[in-house]
Structure 1
């Protein structure tokens, strides 16, 4: 979705939501707020957290949910590497950077501001607190912008509900020591905030706010419950260049750049518990629906874990071999170019031999991963090759048990506990030798291509004389 379409759709959503809530906002102000939202969301590093994402997260039925979703990803420091200047205007009076960390200003350094105090109360944050990028920093700052932007038009009770829905999108939280879920803890803070600031909101309305937050939060992570693992992984792949900016320069990033991105994603998936992905509160969502969410999340994570191990083993072997050439070798040198329309590039897989007795698939998860490796993920915004021919070849030779074993060795290789030579030698079935031979053939094909260019220039010189 281009910026112009995103702007028009955002303005339409914003107008509908504010009119539904009977907020009196002029057209020029609505346009200003739309600009404020769309500009950061269409930044150069946004591949997943885009305007399309916030439209999906907001749904189309509840205006509070729509408003919360429009603002919830406005600040994403580890993706954008900064805070957009226009957004910073609303944040800087309340936060500052100390030793590279965003921090809420100390009590003596804060302006008297009730709305800011409501936001911090909803989040359970305090003056002087160092913000954690992985524990609510972005959601807190986004909620603060939402509250300050809408403050001239909305009362404190409504702002608190919007802020609560944004707080609910802090992902992957387990129950606290008391056994309370994130939603139950949020309800406690909302009750405290309502009493502290004398907000006229009933307990029933607070419970409804929690349900709104649950719906927003569940839509935010809805791809985990996609029935298609290929689609789930396509969304996952959109996250890679957001936090690994080198990958956005197609054809320029190194083997190590790509390996590090896969390694981080594999580590994340390996540690992720399916039960902390989706949220429920009272009858939202209904138990049957929640069980479906949890079933697909568990299945998709299991598939992703094995898929990423296969990808990681593959790139680890390529990286180990690349050390014979240098330390910062572009991935396209080792693998060949990503296919482009109108161009015919020879890639590494073209030189791999047929496997006489390939590994036999053992179960449904292996079958899913095999299909993803051989035929590819669904199309994503990131222009990486969708299928994985080298990983497919490796699985044919050593199977998924071999992938598991080699993944453990790969991690030892990354840590420097074993050498690149030791890692290469650890593969069975002469696998490394077959990859190395294919690389030699790839390099030879490039040599031949360049020699044709030399012959062409030589002929031109002969004709000229």
Structure 2
């Protein structure tokens, strides 16, 4: 089955196709809102958080063979592990946009903040155009040089380079999620998501979540959002100016450089 696929980009591709089945708003690929997508991804995150790989496959009378069954379970375990981290990184990126929406006037079509999905007939600016987690475009610095940040290189690659295909409601890659995950690592993503609370988010939770992310990253995201969400640009700047961060302890410094560990090379 899909859960034992050795191709995790394909596994996530099929997983993403399930979202519109239980989230009707996503079937309208143009008009769904930030919170509607955030709620859908949060539901999927909850599903994978409670999924035990040991109950996905069963054997009977040595069928499949013990070696084959062990390999199936190991591939399943890794697929679920990658999916959990990938989906939670996606959830954080959506929650950042949801927080900005809440603090600047409330929920709105996601295209207002990140731009329209590109088609063969229509191309317009997108937030992703201004984000460059690899650092080549100079608008988004490389993730912080911090040995305490643990990053799964395979998850980062999937976020940056994408699943197998675009879906009808989302692109295959997620530069914003890749940037935040590379910057904050597993523990940082979990700390930030702990501020989210319910969906839709309250204004208090929205501020807490934004302030749990390093200030330079929030500044970069807001600055580039103003280029897309023209009607909320002034309010976005006001929100940014109203936020406050505790003194950095080094975890939030954005700079180029070697990550210091082969395991975390991204």
Report TM bin, short chain: 0.7 to 0.9
CA distance in 1, matches of 2:4, 2:151: 16
Decide which moves more: 329-338 or 391-400.
391-400
The match for 1:343 is 122
Alpha carbons of 1:380 and 1:386: their partners in 2 closer, same or farther (altered >3 Å)?
closer
The match for 1:324 is 103
1:355 equivalent in alignment to 2:141: yes
- Map Cα deviations across residues 155-195 of structure 1 (whole Å, 9 max, x no partner): xxxxxxxxxxxxxxxxxxxxxxxxxxxxxxxxxxxxxxxxx
CA distance in 1, matches of 2:164, 2:176: 18
Deviation at 1:428, TM superposition (A): 1.6
DSSP 3-state at the match of 1:252: coil
Query: Which structure would you say has the larger RCO, counting Cα contacts within 8 Å and 6 or more residues apart?
Result: 2
Q: Say whether the 8 Å CA contact 1:237–1:382 is kept in structure 2.
A: no
* Bigger Rg, structure 1 or 2: 1
- Map Cα deviations across residues 45-93 of structure 1 (whole Å, 9 max, x no partner): xxxxxxxxxxxxxxxxxxxxxxxxxxxxxxxxxxxxxxxxxxxxxxxxx
CA distance in 1, matches of 2:115, 2:94: 13
The match for 1:407 is 193
The match for 1:387 is 173
User: Unaligned regions of 5+ residues in structure 2, if any?
Assistant: 132-138, 234-266
Alpha carbons of 1:354 and 1:365: their partners in 2 closer, same or farther (altered >3 Å)?
closer
Match of 2:211 among 416, 422, 425: 425
CA distance in 2, matches of 1:433, 1:420: 15
DSSP 3-state at the match of 1:430: helix
User: Unaligned regions of 5+ residues in structure 1, if any?
Assistant: 1-221, 448-465
The match for 2:159 is 373
The match for 1:312 is 91
Aligned length: 226
Q: Say whether the 8 Å CA contact 1:241–1:382 is kept in structure 2.
A: no
DSSP 3-state at the match of 1:323: helix
DSSP 3-state at the match of 1:377: coil
When the two chains are superposed, the root-mean-square deviation of aligned CA atoms in Å is 2.7
Alpha carbons of 1:293 and 1:249: their partners in 2 closer, same or farther (altered >3 Å)?
same
Q: Say whether the 8 Å CA contact 2:38–2:95 is kept in structure 1.
A: yes
Q: Say whether the 8 Å CA contact 1:359–1:398 is kept in structure 2.
A: no
Which structure has more helix as a fraction of its residues? 1
Deviation at 1:416, TM superposition (A): 5.0
Q: Counterparts of 1:67-216 in structure 2 under 5 Å?
A: none
The match for 1:239 is 18
TM-score (norm 2): 0.76
CA distance in 2, matches of 1:361, 1:426: 19
Alpha carbons of 1:229 and 1:444: their partners in 2 closer, same or farther (altered >3 Å)?
same
- Map Cα deviations across residues 330-366 of structure 1 (whole Å, 9 max, x no partner): 0111111111113221001223423055457999970
Match of 2:68 among 268, 277, 289: 289
Match of 1:266 among 45, 56, 59: 45
The match for 2:250 is none
Match of 1:334 among 91, 113, 116: 113
Alpha carbons of 1:430 and 1:354: their partners in 2 closer, same or farther (altered >3 Å)?
closer
Deviation at 1:441, TM superposition (A): 1.9
